[in-house]
Amino acid sequence: MSDQPPASNALLSGKTVVLGVSGSIAAYKSADLVSELRRAGADVFVVMTEAASHFITSLTLGTLSRNPVTTSMWEEEGGWEPGHIELADRADMLLVAPATANQIGNFANGCAPDVLSSIYLATKGKVMMVPAMNGKMYHHPTTQANLAKLGELGVQVIEPVEGELACGYEGSGKMASIATILKKTIDSLTPAS
């Protein structure tokens, strides 16, 4: 089976995807992911960690998503309801791509030092994580234990692929393709026919 998404533009129509972007070199791929999610009909809201802002700008992701980008709990404005809780309530899916070892650890252990992990703790919708990191970090027993714990909590994980990593190593740890992420998101959010 091909990992190319079906051709229809409306497969995610009416769905809200909160895209979490954490501080991996793979964060640059989130621009294409936002575009493809929107092309599939999703309303996309991006949440960036501070570390992610060193790899891609909120201006880029806000322009592509056509929605404000959340970067901090301390910059929330626009009403009495905390913005991170509002986003968590709206999310049909919280999709974290790329997901760093740090973010995986925060999620697995209920830590909320940033707006993205706070949204995770408040999200009742589906959660999908797409790890991207050095292969040694990915295979470390702590990272694997955290991923297993998240799996037990119902978090879907799209495994990284083999390839050349930004650090110069070859091996697993490379973020899955945008086509794979999009297909798995569509499969998770649309009923089987």
167 counts as catalytic: yes
**Residue 58: inside a domain:** yes
Give the whole-angstrom CA distance, residue 159 versus residue 69. 26
Name the amino acid, one letter, at 6.
P
**Residue 6: inside a domain:** no
Q: Among 155, 191, 179, which residue's Cα sits nearest to residue 14?
A: 191
The reported pLDDT for the residue numbered 54 is 94
**Residue 37: inside a domain:** yes
**Residue 4: inside a domain:** no
**How many whole angstroms from its chain centre is CA 119?**
12
**Residue 100: inside a domain:** yes
Of 63, 167, 169, 170, the catalytic one is 167
Three-state SS for 163? Answer: strand
Whether the bond into 98 is cis, omega within 30 of 0: yes
Where are any strands of DSSP class E within 68-110? 93-99
The domain in which residue 165 lies consists of 16-189
**Residue 9: inside a domain:** no
Domain count, the chain: 1
**Residue 139: inside a domain:** yes
pLDDT, tens digit (0-9, with 9 covering 90-100), for 21-78: 999 989 999 999 999 999 999 999 999 999 999 999 999 999 999 999 998 876 655 5
Long-range contacts of 186-190 (CB under 8 A, 24+ apart): 186/5, 186/6, 186/11, 186/12, 186/40, 188/93, 188/126, 188/128, 188/156, 189/12, 189/15, 189/17, 189/92, 189/93, 189/126, 190/11, 190/12
Q: Evaluate if pTM is beyond 0.85.
A: yes
Q: What CATH number has the domain bearing residue 74?
A: 3.40.50.1950
**Residue 1: inside a domain:** no
